[in-house]
Amino acid sequence: MKLLHIVVGAFVLFAFLLTGQYMDYLDVRSGALGDATRMMFRSRHIYILLSGLVNLAVGTYFVRRAGGWRRTLQTTGSILVLAAPLLLLAAFFTEPGLPGLRRQFTLPAIVILAVGTLLHAFSGVRAGRETVELKQKQNEVELTD
């Protein structure tokens, strides 16, 4: 999972650069598309950056939990964090063209990203003590062998 988060994060950051070039191609800054459309493009663009950075951060610090409920929370969190960029990329290309300020992809993506991040955080609460105890037991086993 560690490598997957890092690779997805890097690809999403590259996609962030490409979506920036796409906005420049459309000349979003000029306001010719209208204020609402400009705001939609820019906000989705920044959300793509957010999802890429969260994936990189999770990948950088990822340590597989020992098991049980902590691992379940961590795995579920990883799946959610990895899914969010796909929804945000879909939002970037579809939502600015919709009438009004409809957010059929953005809202679920941001909620998924937030919940996934919180699940990762909860999976690590007070896990440090368990990790130290597990390492001590492993050292004791090695000494007796």
pLDDT digits (tens, 9 = 90+) for 63-118: 888 888 999 999 999 999 999 999 999 999 999 888 877 789 999 999 999 999 99
pTM score of the predicted model: 0.81
Cβ-defined contacts of 139-142 (< 8 Å, 24+): none
For 34, list phi and psi in degrees, rounded to 5.
Answer: 100, 155
pLDDT at 142 over 60: yes
List C-alpha distances in Å: 61 to 1, 2, 32: 11, 8, 43
pLDDT at 143 over 70: no
The tokens for 53 are 């950075």
pLDDT at 41 over 60: yes
- At 136, the pLDDT band (50, 70, 90 cuts) reads low
